[in-house]
Each structure stands twice: as C-alpha cells, then as structure tokens.
Copies of this chain bind each other. A is one copy, B any other.
C-alpha cells in the first residue's frame, strides 16, 4: 500500500545521505558554528536575495515558531494569526507555554487579510481598556497555509504594508515554502518572500531533508541574541552541522525547488484526476496537498489501497481527506492512484 498521508513519511533525498556520509568524519565545532552552516546561510541569503539577512538553523517547525515568537514579543504581547494557524491548533500550546496569547482571526481558507490585521490593530488601539487586553505584537502567517492555499503577491504586499505601518514584525512560516513558490500560478519569487517579511523560515523537514528549518531574519536587528533564544528553547543542535550540510545540499543547484516542483506536478495530476470525476474539494489550491471531499464509504474502500489522512467531516455522509505528495512520491504510485480514481470514484 502506498501512503499519501503526509510529506514526511520517508527519510531524505539521497543527496543528503551522500553528504552526511562524505562529511561524517570531519571534526567541526558544534552548535551551528561550523563551515557548513556558514556556507548554507550564504546560499540561502543568495537564493532569497537578502544579502544582509541573519540566518539560523533549527530542528523542527514547532520549535522554530515558538522560538521566533518568544524572541520577538514582550510579555504583554500576542501574535495575530489565522484561527486555523499551526501555532493556534497543532503545537500543544507552545506559544502559550512561552507566555504569549495567540490572537486568532477568523479564516475560511487558512489566510488572513491585511484588512483583518489592520482592523485588529485599530480595534486594540482605540479600546479604552486596551491595557486589560493582550497587545497584538506581531503577525504570523504560513505560506502555503495549513490548507495548501497561497497568498498572492498583492495580498502579501498589503500584509507587509500594514505591519510596516504599525511597526510590528511579519513572520512567515515556510514549513512548505518550496511547494508554495513552485505552485503553478504563483507569481512570488524567493526574493519576494524575503522582501515582504521581517522573518521567515525555509522548511526542510517536509521538503527533502531529514529535518531542519532555516530561519531568515531579513531585518537583522530583530535577530539580536537569537542564538541564546534557540538554546533556551531547546533548539540548538549539538552537531549543528547536520543542519548546514542538509541546506547546502538543498540549496545547491536549486534542488530544494526542483523537488518541490516535481511534487507539485504530481499533486496536479492527482487533483486533475479528481476533477475529471467531478469530485469537489474542501479548498482550491495548487500546492502539494489535495483535499477532495469523498463519501465515507468511498474513503473506507480507498484506504484499502492508499494511505490518506481523514482531514475533516464536511457533512453527515462526506469527509474531506488529504493527499500529500513530496520529494519521495513515486510516479508509479501516482499513476496507480489516478487509475483508482478513474475506476472507482
């Protein structure tokens, strides 16, 4: 049985395994102060067109979100995000564990708008009892969102604008950044992500690495003493070079983007297969996650042949499921799934 439940079911792209083997007996300083981290940071600055950015490497996404947010907020501040945001739902309250409230905004498609952010900031500022409320101190979005949707360039420009006006940082969770940038129809370039955010991260775990997320502070002043914060939050890997080595490989020759592009194309094929059968989707998107709405009986049969995640009930008889493709997804598995959809749904 082939599994489409998530994009972190396998190990890593073989180039990374090769690099780990080649470098295995090198002796380097620990904690990210090695030549591999240094070179990987340079490559990321180059690829994202932000030569002055400060780059740090952490192990996982929850850790990265909690660390960035704790390092940027004062105690009475909270972080604005979509109610479906990963930090609001699926990080076991890591942000709150660090002392901060997640200020959730309603969202239908995983996105929040500049207008929502502006309204929240203005409402706070104009409330006579605002000192009794958590002050919005930054904005968190993900690109792509939890639902695989993407901000347009214009939407991101607007969010960046409102954050600049109000002088609060805009943080982009890029756990699946490559899948977003390589989606068909996406007009954003890597340098736009850097230009339109104050801090973002380049996700490795779901895009070909064993693990690892590269945090990029495009306004380096915000990164002051960030390494202390990494350590305090348990994210400073002793053999930090493992992160540098992996991002060297992924940034080399655009591999990171190639892997994402390939996965997106496979996702497009699956999406098209459902479309051909007139099957609706929970949300329209163009990245590596696909959310068709299926009859429960059909899901039960499908899961005899393919692994898939039950995402959320839609009505009494139908549930949205999630298919993910990734760097490791095989052509043959997708072909088999296409055939199954054609024949059985």
Contacts and interface: CB of A to CB of B under 8 A. Distances in A.
A96 B60 CA distance: 22
Contacts of A5: 29
A9 B24 CA distance: 10
A14 interface: yes
Contact of A135 (B59, B66, B70, B225): B225
B131 A231 contact: yes
Interface of A: 2-3, 5-6, 8-12, 14, 17, 20-21, 23-31, 59-64, 66-67, 70-71, 74-76, 78, 89-94, 96-102, 129, 131-135, 205-206, 210-211, 225, 227-229, 231-239, 242, 307, 328
A97 B94 contact: no
A200 to B, nearest CB: 18
B17 A91 contact: no
A133 B210 contact: no
A266 B214 CA distance: 37
A191 to B, nearest CB: 28
Contacts of A228: 76, 92, 131, 135
B225 A239 contact: no
A67 to B, nearest CB: 7
B76 A93 contact: yes
Given A62-B234, A76-B229, A134 B96 contact: yes
A8 B98 CA distance: 29
Contact of A233 (B21, B27, B97): B97
Nearest to A94: B232
B231 A234 contact: no
Given A205-B239, A211-B238, A231-B132, A10 B30 contact: no
Contacts of A25: 10-11, 328
Contact of A97 (B8, B133, B232): B232
A234 B66 contact: yes
Contact of A6 (B30, B94, B210, B237): B30
A91 B12 CA distance: 30
6 contacts: A27-B307, A60-B234, A60-B238, A62-B236, A131-B225, A210-B242
A235 B76 contact: no
A233 B234 CA distance: 8
A98 to B, nearest CB: 7
Rank and list the top 8 A-B pairs by shortest CB-CB distance, nearest first: A63-B234, A76-B228, A11-B24, A92-B232, A92-B231, A93-B134, A9-B27, A93-B101
Given A10-B26, A210-B239, 11 more contacts: A8-B238, A10-B27, A11-B26, A67-B234, A71-B74, A74-B225, A92-B131, A94-B233, A96-B100, A97-B99, A211-B238
